[in-house]
Amino acid sequence: MLECVIIDDEPLARELLAGYIGQHGAIELAGTFNNALEGMEFLKHHRADVLFLDIEMPEISGIDFLKALPDPPITVFTTAFRDYAFEGFELGVIDFLLKPVSYDRFSKAVDKIREFLSLERSNANLETSGDIPTFIFVKSGVQKIKLFFADVTHIQGLKDYAIIHASTGRIVIKGSIKSMQALFPEALFIRVHKSFIVAKDKIRRVERNKVIIADQQIPIGRNYKEALDKLIGRH
């Protein structure tokens, strides 16, 4: 059972999420707070697996609150504004719920959290493929599974882990996105953000501040924009 905390200054939004949590069989409410300062004090002394965090709050915003936490729980942003999605990527949040949140969308966020934790516990590792630059080995327990670079769409950094997104499924690896950049060939992959590496041949289009891969919108970081512009020949 996942312990979660809600921090939101809107009473109806807190009540709605609390009701959803009460209906769901895999998550339970450890605390609910109407301001970030009370929530921060609680998290200093209590463990939480998941944080449902509003962004626009008085005194301190959800974004500044999350930046101030030394070891934040897995975080889901809840907001009435669409414009914060990319800032969520910057902070490593796992999902973004737009208010008013439906139960179906809430349930999908919980499923995503549970999948991440399950993959994290599998403690998979990567081994390079020696002189053959077309694949790597994914090591999970006693098994070694060949993962072809051609199957990978993108890699996402999340806290101390990297999530490999492939046509065969998702794999969570212990290690930084920087360490993944060293394993995935530069000829095939490009880093577009401090939290994302993408497969060059999977890019469908590039917009002003994001890369589109299949149905995924991936932010472009300021420090990586020039290299991406060179790749696509943008002038």
Check pLDDT > 90 for residue 4: yes
What is the model's pLDDT at position 172?
82
Inter-residue contact 67 to 91 (CB < 8 Å): yes
CB atoms under 10 Å from CB of 167, counted, come to: 11
Q: Distance (Å, rounded) from C-alpha 25 to C-alpha 1?
A: 8
What are the tens digits of pLDDT across the range 155-202?
A: 998 877 888 999 888 888 878 888 888 888 888 999 999 999 999 999
- Please compute the mean of the pLDDT values over residues 113-120 and round it to a whole number: 80
What are the tens digits of pLDDT across the range 59-112?
A: 888 989 998 888 889 999 998 877 766 667 667 788 889 999 999 999 999 998
Check pLDDT > 60 for residue 235: no
Task: Tell me which of 29-33, 192-196, 197-201, 228-232 is least confident.
Answer: 228-232
Q: What are the chain's domains?
A: 2-120 (3.40.50.2300), 124-232 (2.40.50.1020)
Amino acid code (one letter) for 187: A
Mean pLDDT across the chain: 86
The Cα diameter of the chain in Å comes to: 59
- pTM > 0.85: yes or no: no
- Please compute the mean of the pLDDT values over residues 203-230 and round it to a whole number: 88
